[in-house]
Structure 1
Amino acid sequence: MQLSKIKIPKKYLKIGAWIIGVFLIVCMALGVVAYNKREALLKKMVAKAITKANKDFGLDVKIGAATFDGLSTVKMTGITVVPKDRDTLASINELSVGVKLLPLIFGTVKLSQVKLNQGFVNIVLKDSTTNIDFILKRKKKDSTENKNKVNLADIASNVMNEVLYKIPDDMDVKNMRFKFNDNDTAKLTFDTQAIINNGDLTSTINVNNRESIWHIDGYVNPGSKKLSFTVYADGKKLELPYLNQKLHAKLSFDTLQTELKNAKYSGDDYKISGSWSVKNMLINQPRIASNDIIVQSAKLDADVLIGPNFISLDSTSTAYLKNATIHPFVKYTLGKNKIYELKLRAEEQDAQSIFDAFPQGLFESLEGLKVKGKVKYDLNFYLDTKIPDSVRFNSTLTPVDFKIVQWGKTNLQKINSAFVYTPYEYGKPMRDITIGPANANFTPLGSISKNFVNSVLTAEDPSFFTHNGFVEESIRKSIAINYKEKKFKRGGSTISMQLVKNIYLSRQKTLARKAEEILIVWLIEHNHLVTKQRMLEVYFNIIELGQNIYGIGEASRYYFGKQPADLTIGEGIFLASIVPRPKAAMYKFVADGSLKPYMYNYFRFMGNIMAKRGFATADSTNYGFYNVRLREGLRRYLAPDSAAVDTVLVDEDGEAMPVVMQDKSKNLFDRIFGPSKTDSVSKRNNNMPADTTKTNKQLRQERREQRRLEREKVVGG
């Protein structure tokens, strides 16, 4: 089909030409006027900016001279910025800034070039103040004034554009120094030279007067929202001593690479795609691990989604550790009630590649371990802070034809025969204990009273014989309780985990040790390296049950002058009660060797649970409470009867055994990683901390029980 030609009369073409011509002439005239007046306009703009900086931020800004250099470039000299009552923040001798004209017409400032010659930026921390706290004050004021609901996606888009638009196409920075002073205890200087030429970036940074020379090389294309660069140091690892000085940590690496691939809206969400990789990264922080951890090769291809009220690392992201891969999903939803989500998915892959991918120094006991087969892993965690009891937690490491073919540094089957166990207290070894027939106190599982066995299993790990090392429901409940209490009040360790922690691992409370504990438990349980019966037998022979009392053989003789086989149900329940806090055992007795009345509730609770499970007879004798008597030789060491007692905490569902006495650690972090040195010293000086005061309910129960005993005494008389 051929379209007919549109004929426009010549007079209309002439009128159109005249209009365009007049418009161009007007624009040129305005341009000429603006060009001639631009110096005056520039002075007004500079004066206005200086006034605004002083009014809004309390900044004293001075500019020696400001003139145009060419059509769209402004050259300034003698620039200083001094916050009110603070140290000078910045000083620049010469600065030339060029902007792109076309975006400027539409109100967007994009830099075309930047030239800077000699200057400094100086950040000073003095006690609780800094010379950049005017930024924080401004942000606080803005947040107070802006009561409307913010959209995180829009904020991310605006921030990204602001950052990218300030990256020029061409840049030449010479003799620029960045200084940082932290209360005169740590000082950093970065003498910087940087060039951007048609998008190619090269930069050299002299750290602390040639302590180290850093390089940043890469490519920047702010218009298409793409950039990439590599950071490395001359002849050594790139590190920052300040971290070691201030945070007691060490972080270094050979190279660090980052790439921004794209940043744009995806529906209502703002999506940032990029990658980050590192070579030979070394981490040393006492709460992470007691030694250096080296990540040889790691990379993250990430898609970050920022929605109206959430930030997430999307599941399309992939993390690489050597030849192992995993897909993470992390989401944080803001609002009146925050929501935390975490998912990890590792598709079925070669098991040896997984073990080889572990950072060096992370799992010392497993270094050199050889395996065959495949494994896959899935983790799902979801916590809505409005309803913490509904927290979801699932973690599954699935073996496929998995087999251990060579041990690493530690033979995980060593406990199948006699071995030497060394307990530690406050980081120091106590004594060597032979776990085997050569030790007179060693007690085979068959020679231990069922009353003790069932009491401890009920208290510590009711499903020991049916689980595979972990109880997800117990972990889930612990997460909910600990979140609600805002402290580490309940743990989720099984007997398997306690055994591995004591037998195979160091005493330090670190993240690395906890992760190693979990992995070793999985290896032992899923490969049936040790039978459940042997694990329980070893556990009962190493368990701490008092001050320098280890194992049921020592404990039964120490407290009751009995063989482990002869323990009554009451004695078994008592010994189970001291497992969480064994050094406080003697506090539970009064001067005549009988138990303090507040323990009665504990016995009733324990006895009822054991009766429901067929481990005891539903009681008419108070589950042996009144028959428990400390052997006579120990009674002279008892604390006065007036000593404060501990509090019995009972789970509402009646299934998980309560801890009789709780550690008074300050927070979750301290409970995970251990107390500070100050706390340790305090504990060494006070091995038996005072218990909490009795509740009114306990006092009433004690009075009723006392009256009952008096009536029985009268009747008996």
Structure 2
Amino acid sequence: MRIPKINIPKKYLKIGAWVLGVFLIVGIALGAVAYSKREAILKKMVAKAIAKADKDYGLEVKIGSAGFTGLSTVKMTNISVVPKERDTLSNIGQLSVSVRLFPLLFGNVKLSEVTLNDGFVSVVLKDSTTNIDFLLKRKKKDSTETKGKSNLAEIANNILNQVLYKIPNDMDVKNMVFKFNDHDTAQLSFATTAVIDDGDLKSTIEVNNGESKWHIDGYVNPGSKKLSFTAYADGKKLELPYLNNKLHAKVSFDTLQTELKSAGYSSGDYKISGSWSVKNMLLNQPRIANNDIIIQSAKLEADVLVGENYIALDSTSTAYLRDASIHPYIKYTLGKNKIYELKLNAEEQDAQAVLNAFPQGLFESLEGLKVQGKIKYNLNFYLDTAIPDSVKFNSTLTPVDFKIIQWGKTNLQKINNSFVYTPYEYGKPMRDITIGPSNPNFTPLSAISNNFKNAVLTAEDPSFFTHNGFVEESIRKSIAVNFKEKKFKRGGSTISMQLVKNVYLSRQKTLARKAEEILIVWLIEHNHLVSKQRMLEVYFNIMELGQNIYGIGEASRYYFGKQPADLTIGDGLFLASIVPKPKAAMYKFMANGSLKPYMFNYFRFMGNIMARRGLTPSDTSGYGFYNVRLREGLRQYLAPDTAVIDTTAFDDDSDTPPVIMQDESKNLFDRIFGGRAKKDTASNKQIKSGDTTTKTRKQLRQERREQRRKEKELEELRKGNN
């Protein structure tokens, strides 16, 4: 096709040329004026910036010299930043910065080249202050001028753009040291050299004066919002000794990689796509596990969504552990009330691949376990903090032709036969107990009174014979109660879970142990490795029911001088009542061996439940409360009726092994996973005066000494009976 020729009259061409020439001349003239005035403009801007830093943030900024060295390059020397009444934050010997002119026309400062020589940034934590706390200050006018709600999507977009615009296309950093001083107890220093050459990044970081040498390589393309970084160390793992010294945690890895793939608006939300991966990561933290945990290969392909009032990890994200994968969805919504959402979806995949994907050292008792078949998993959690009782929770691990073909370190069927059980207290073994006919205190399930069995099942796990190891409704209620109480007050353990953590696992309160407990319960229940009857029989023969009293055989003879088959409904309800706090058992009795009056409400409440379920006849007199009598030989060791006992000093209400007593702790994390080991002070805390205004300190000390004497005689008597 032939394009027709367009004839433009010459006079219009001349007019156009004149107009273009005029604009060119004006532009050159304005440029010349601006060029001649640029030094003065720069000095004015520097002075304004220094004054603003002092007024708004309390920073004393000094610049030795500042001037242009090219069309758009500013060179500054001897720059120092010192917060008022704080340690020096930064000092830079020489800094040259070039900006792109085109973005500058639209008010955006985009760095094109940065050169920095000889400088440091030092963060100092001292007492309750730091030299960076000015960052937390908000100007009063900002709070008064801000109207309406903040849009998180806009904030995320602005922050990311500001960060990307500050990354130059070319950079040369030499001898830049980043220092961190934590109350003079832990210090870190990173001597850095870094080069960006047309987007390619090469960086070397010397840690703590040669302790190790790190490298960060990658590429940067801020214009297209793409970044990629890989971190590794020379000849060793990349690690921070500071974490071990300060936080009692050890973290190291061979390589760590992160990538920003894209960022931008999508259907009104701001979407950030990227990935994070790690190779041979080693983690050691006492509250997670008592040994090293090694994650050989992990990766997260993530899509992060930021909406007007929420931030979420979208379900299109995928987390990989070796050959296993799962799709997480996490959402946090802000507003008058906060909303937490969590969903996990693992599609059907090879069960052995999932087992192999678990980090080494996480599940010690399952190491070497071989399985076949497939599994899939789904979890759904939703909590609106305004209505915590409406919390939603369900978790399903579904087997598909699943079968165990080889045991690992622990044979999960070992309790089907006689075995030796060793209870622990404060991390120390108490004694070996044979769970089998060779032990005279062992009691078969058929020889245990239904009064005891029904009382314990009603109190501890009413649906034991129908559930598969877990009761979602119990877990859901526990979450609601613990959230409202702001502490770990209620657990959601079934008898299956209590049995597993006592027989198969250590007594350390760690995340790893809890996760292993859940997995073992699932393996036993879903594969019918142990019958429900045998599980209950073993549970009744190992449960702690007093100070160094284990199993119903010991307990029935110790408290009542009876065989387990002869326990009355009252005896059964009493023994069920002490399961959460077995060491407080003796303090429920009065000096004459009868139960203290406050126990009546428990008997009536539990008895009514049992009666409604047809487990015992209705009884308006308290379901055997008045017939419970402590064995006469033990009554001399009872505390005086006037003494008020702090039973909370004996045991922990939380979901922990019953042989472990509660230690004081500082926060929820300590309550769940346990703090440092503490000295056994139970004997010193057992008795508190009910009326400190009428008893002298000397009298209280005498009472405590007398009680300790009785306890010692009681223990000797128990040993003699055994």
TM over 0.5: yes
Corresponding position: 1:339 with 2:362: no
Q: Distance in 1 between matches of 2:681 and 2:466?
A: 37
| Cα distance change, pair 248–72 in 1 and its aligned pair in 2 (3 A) | same
Residues 80-95 of structure 1: matches in 2 within 5 Å? 80-95=80-95
For each residue in 1:303-328, what CA deviation from the matched residue of structure 2 results, as whole angstroms up to 9, or x when unmatched? 00011100100000000000000000
1:198-237 matches, cutoff 5 A: 198-237=198-237
Q: Is the CA contact 2:75–2:96 (under 8 Å) kept in the aligned structure 1? A: yes
Structure 1 residues 611 and 264: CA distance shift in structure 2, 3 A: same
1:326 is matched with 326
Q: Is it true that 1:520 corresponds to 2:520 in the alignment? A: yes
- Structure-2 change in CA distance of 1:536 and 1:663 (3 Å): farther
Q: Kindly provide the amino acid, as one letter, of the partner of residue 361 in structure 1.
A: G
Residues 583 and 688, structure 1, Cα contact 8 Å, conserved in 2: no
What secondary structure sits across from 2:500 in the alignment? helix
Q: Which residue is equivalent to 1:375? A: 375
Comparing 467-476 with 34-43, greater Cα deviation is found at 34-43
Aligned to 1:311: 311
User: In structure 2, what is the equivalent of residue 363 of structure 1?
Assistant: 363
> Where in structure 2 are the equivalents of 1:364-443 lying within 5 Å?
364-443=364-443
Q: Post-superposition shift, 1:17?
A: 2.9
**Residue equivalent to 2:470:** 470
SS at match of 1:509: coil
| Contact kept? 2:305, 2:313, Cα under 8 Å | yes
User: 1:103 and 2:103 equivalent?
Assistant: yes
1:596 lines up with 2:577 in the alignment? no
Give 1:128's aligned residue: 128
Q: Name the counterpart of 1:625.
A: 625
Q: What aligned pairs does 1:478-627 form with structure 2 within 5 A after superposition?
A: 478-627=478-627
Query: CA offsets per residue over residues 425-479 of structure 1, 9 Å max, x none?
Result: 0111000000000100000000000000000000000000000000001101111
Matched residues in 2 for 1:127 and 1:333: separation?
Answer: 35
Tell me the residue number matched to 1:168: 168
- What amino acid sits opposite 1:681 in the alignment? K
Equivalent-residue separation in structure 2 for 1:239 and 1:662 (angstroms) = 35
Unpaired runs of 5+ residues, structure 2, are 649-660, 692-722
For the 8 Å contact 2:79–2:91, the answer to whether it is kept is yes
Counterpart check, 1:681 vs 2:679: yes
- CA offsets, 1:73-117, max 9 Å, x none? 101111111111111111111110000011011111100000011
Aligned residues: 679
Deviation at 1:686, TM superposition (A): 3.8
CA contact (8 A) 2:103 2:109 kept: yes
In the superposition, relative to structure 1, how do residues 183 and 572 fare at CA in structure 2: closer, same or farther (>3 Å)?
Answer: same
The answer for the alignment partner of 1:138 in structure 2 is 138
AA partner of residue 338 (structure 1): K
- 1:265: how far off? 0.8
* Distance change (3 Å), C-alpha of 1:364 and 1:144: farther
Q: Aligned partner of 1:115: which letter? A: T
SS at match of 1:549: coil
Distance in 1 (alpha carbons) for counterparts of 2:87 and 2:356: 51
1:446 aligns with: 446
Q: Does the 8 Å CA contact 1:646/1:691 hold for their aligned counterparts? A: no
* Cα distance, 1:47 vs structure 2: 1.0
Report the alpha carbon displacement of residue 16 of structure 1 after superposing the two structures with TM.
Answer: 3.1
- Alpha-carbon contact 2:644-2:687 (below 8 Å) kept: no
Partner of 2:715: none
For residue 696 of structure 1, what is the aligned residue in structure 2?
A: none
Matches within 5 A, 1:147-186: 147-186=147-186
* SS of equivalent residue, structure 2 residue 597: coil
In 2 relative to 1, CA 39–481 (structure 1 residues): closer, same or farther, beyond 3 Å? same
CA distance in 1, matches of 2:3, 2:484: 75
Paired AA for residue 510 in structure 2: T
- Partner deviation per Cα, 1:283-320 (whole Å, 9 max, x = no partner): 11111111110000000000000111001000000000
User: Are the counterparts in 2 of residues 647 and 692 from structure 1 also a CA contact under 8 Å?
Assistant: no
**Aligned residue number for residue 712 of structure 2:** none
The 1:37–1:2 alpha-carbon spacing in structure 2 relative to 1, beyond 3 Å, is same
Paired letter, 2:27: C
Query: Is the contact made by 1:205 and 1:213 (CA closer than 8 Å) also made in structure 2?
Result: yes
Instruction: Kindly report which structure 2 residues correspond to 1:250-269, keeping only aligned pairs within 5 A, or say none.
Output: 250-269=250-269
Change (3 A) 1:271 1:600: same
Does the CA contact (< 8 Å) of 1:277 and 1:297 recur in 2?
A: yes
SS at match of 2:624: helix
**Is contact 1:646–1:692 with CA below 8 Å preserved after alignment?**
no
Tell whether the 8 Å contact from 2:645 to 2:686 is kept in structure 1 after alignment.
Answer: no
- Comparing 663-672 with 16-25, which one deviates more in the overlay? 663-672
Using the alignment, how far apart are the partners of 1:234 and 1:394 within structure 2? 46
Letter in 2 for 1:297: S
In 2, the alpha carbon distance for the partners of 1:144 and 1:608 equals 61
Equivalents in 2 of 1:222, 1:583: separation in Å?
A: 64
Please say if residues 584 and 647 of structure 2, whose CA atoms lie closer than 8 Å, have aligned partners that are also in contact: no
Contact kept, 8 Å, 1:488 with 1:667, in 2: the verdict is: no
Q: 1:329 aligns to what SS in structure 2?
A: strand
Matches of 1:473 and 1:389 in 2, distance apart?
11
Deviation at 1:22, TM superposition (A): 1.1
Distance 1:461 1:304 in 2: 41
Q: Structure 1 pair 483/176, CA: closer, same or farther in 2 (3 Å)?
A: same
Deviation at 1:645, TM superposition (A): 5.9
What's the counterpart of residue 190 of structure 1? 190
- Tell me if structure 2 keeps the 8 A contact 1:169–1:198: yes
Q: Report deviation, 1:644.
A: 2.6
Contact map agreement 1:423 1:429 (CA 8 A) in 2 = yes
- In structure 2, what is the Cα distance between the partners aligned to 1:479 and 1:690? 33
Alignment deviations for residues 13-57 of structure 1 (CA, whole Å, 9 cap, x no partner): 433332222112111100011111111111111111111111111
Q: CA deviation at 1:488?
A: 1.3
Matched residue of 1:403: which SS? Answer: strand
Using the TM superposition, give the Cα deviation of residue 142 of structure 1 relative to its aligned residue in structure 2, in angstroms.
4.0
| Change in CA separation of 1:666 and 1:208 when aligned onto 2, cut-off 3 Å | closer
Give the structure 1 partner of residue 54 of structure 2. 54
Contact 1:588–1:645 under 8 Å retained in 2? no
Partner of 1:641: 641
How much is the aligned-residue C-alpha RMSD, in angstroms?
Answer: 2.0
The answer (yes or no) to whether the contact 2:260–2:275 under 8 Å persists in 1 is yes
CA contact (8 A) 2:249 2:283 kept: yes
Q: 1:174 to 1:459 in 2, by over 3 A?
A: same
1:670 aligns with 2:670: yes
Distance, in Å, in 2 between the alignment partners of 1:321 and 1:667 is 31
1:504-542 Cα deviation digits (max 9, x unpaired): 000100000000000000000000000000000000000
Tell me which moved more, 418-427 or 18-27.
Answer: 18-27
* Deviation readout 1:681-712 (Å, 9 max, x if unpaired): 2544446476999xxxxxxxxxxxxxxxxxxx
Read off the aligned partner of 2:679 and give its amino acid letter: V
Per-residue CA distance 1:164-218 (angstroms, 9 max, x = gap): 1111000000011111111111111111100000111000000001100000011
Contact 1:93-1:119 within 8 A present in 2 as well:
yes
CA distance in 1, matches of 2:79, 2:671: 52
User: Identical aligned pairs, as a percentage?
Assistant: 80
